[in-house]
Amino acid sequence: EPLSKYELEGLKAQEPQGSFLTFIMVKAVVLGASGGIGQPLSLLCKASPLIDELALYDVVNTPGVAADLSHISSIAKISGYLPKDDGMKQALTGADICIIPAGIPRKPGMTRDDLFKINAGIVQGLIKGIAEFCPNSFILVISNPVNSTVPIAAETLKQAGVFNPKKLFGVTTLDVVRAETFVQDITGERDPSKTVIPVIGGHSGETIVPLFSQAKPTVEIPQDKYDDLVHRVQFGGDEVVKAKDGAGSATLSMAYAGFRFAERLLKASKGEGGIVEPTFVYLPGIDGGDVIAKETGCDYFSVPVELGPSGAGKATNPLGNVTEKEKKLIEAAIKGLKGNIEKGVEFVKNPP
């Protein structure tokens, strides 16, 4: 006998930490849904058989985007909300997964850190809504600078008394996707997604560390190509910012990457085993994260994490088995990350 929506809600309420039951019916929310990333990401969510209900939230244009997507003959029931008429509450109530690509993107000459001033407040406002209306939801933060917006999200959730580190993810998948793609030029692999390359650290410039030595299957990078390849993964976003010439940063590849992470998380939450993805998490709250936090001196770090029904499962410590070159990259990443993390934490603890 299929359960009614009412009965499912009752079961959900009894399973606050997330469980198999929570994900029989999946409600996803995209916050910032009308933007360059938000629209194609919403399209991918609407087309996914893993999502039963999709709510779009933005300060502009969501009724139009939702009406457009509603003509697609997939299963997800779709609705669009603006801040008026309690729109945020309506969008978020009952959500199982919230994906946040809200905020301004880079223009040429800007670093991700330059976005902090505006995006910090946007992310904090949205997280406050999540804390109030769907505190048990998975939260995927795309808005930059991820190195700071994830600590902002965590501190905001802590203040509200609903922080679950296993359910908060900084989306660094685009760095993984770029590493897979760029290494293809060297390996000649026909399907680049078949090469698994852990990318660790943070999500900006030198804080991004691809570990080609841990690629599976093994990849041989010629010495004379290594530095350029690492630089391209770290600064690949700049190629897009430059080519778009003032019209923004990566949107389509980011929507692909964000959806890929969300899809894998949903599959894992429905019981599929063996799904491991690098993601920027609060290490002390993750199984196996303490050791990595101690070694790096960073509470937040992107590491490969096994995904499961409660969200982030065991974190893999990638630090023990790295080359001398990778060790230097990790040192530089840690240096940059510490300041970014501190800035996010301070924003919430001692508001400007």
State the binding site: 32-38, 58, 106, 112, 119, 142-144, 178, 254
Provide the Cα torsion 248, 263, 318, 282; round to 10°.
80
Q: Where are the alpha helices (DSSP H) in the chain?
A: 5-13, 38-47, 62-69, 87-92, 116-133, 146-159, 173-187, 223-244, 252-269, 289-296, 324-349
Site string for ligand NAI, 142-161 (x = CB under 6 A): xxx-x---------------
Catalytic site includes residue 71:
no
- Residues annotated in a binding site for substrate: 106, 112, 144, 178
| CB neighbours of residue 283 within 10 Å | 23
- Applying CB under 6 A, does 59 fall inside the site for ligand NAI? yes
State whether the Cα torsion 349-60-58-38 is positive or negative: negative
The phi, psi pair for 99, rounded to 5°, reads -115, 125
Place of tokens 């023990």: 320
Residue nearest to ligand NAI as judged by C-beta position: 35
The least distance separating ligand NAI from the CB of residue 235, rounded to whole angstroms, comes to: 13
Which of 145/308 has CB closer to ligand NAI?
145
Q: Is 36 a binder of ligand NAI (CB under 6 A)?
A: yes
Contact with ligand NAI (CB under 6 A): which of 7, 10, 17, 60?
60
Residue type, 204: S
Distance, C-alpha 170 to centroid of its chain: 4
Q: Which residue has the tokens 């499962």?
A: 313
Residue count at the site for ligand NAI (CB under 6 A)? 34
Active-site residue, from 12, 27, 46, 203: 203
Query: Binder to ligand NAI among 31, 69, 127, 183 (CB under 6 A)?
Result: 31
User: Which one of 140-148, 159-167, 216-224, 309-317 is the stretch in contact with ligand NAI (CB under 6 A)?
Assistant: 140-148
**Alpha-carbon dihedral angle through residues 222, 227, 228, 234, given to the nearest 10 degrees:** 130
Of 203, 183, 165, nearest in space to 284 by CA: 165
In whole angstroms, the minimum distance from the beta carbon of 86 to ligand NAI comes to 14
Judged on CB neighbours under 10 Å (0-12, 13-18, 19+), 112 is buried
Binding mask 87-116 for ligand NAI (x = CB under 6 A): --------------xxxxxx--------x-
* Binding flag, residue 40, ligand NAI (CB under 6 A): no
Asked if 178 is part of the footprint of ligand NAI (rule: CB under 6 A), the reply reads no
User: Cβ closer to ligand NAI: 201 or 309?
Assistant: 201
Q: How far is the CB of 88 from ligand NAI (least distance, A)?
A: 8
Backbone angles phi, psi at 200, to 5 degrees: -120, 180
Binding residues (CB under 6 A) for ligand NAI: these are: 31-32, 34-38, 57-60, 101-106, 115, 119, 122, 125-126, 142-144, 146, 171, 174, 203, 248-251, 254
Q: Catalytic site residues? A: 203
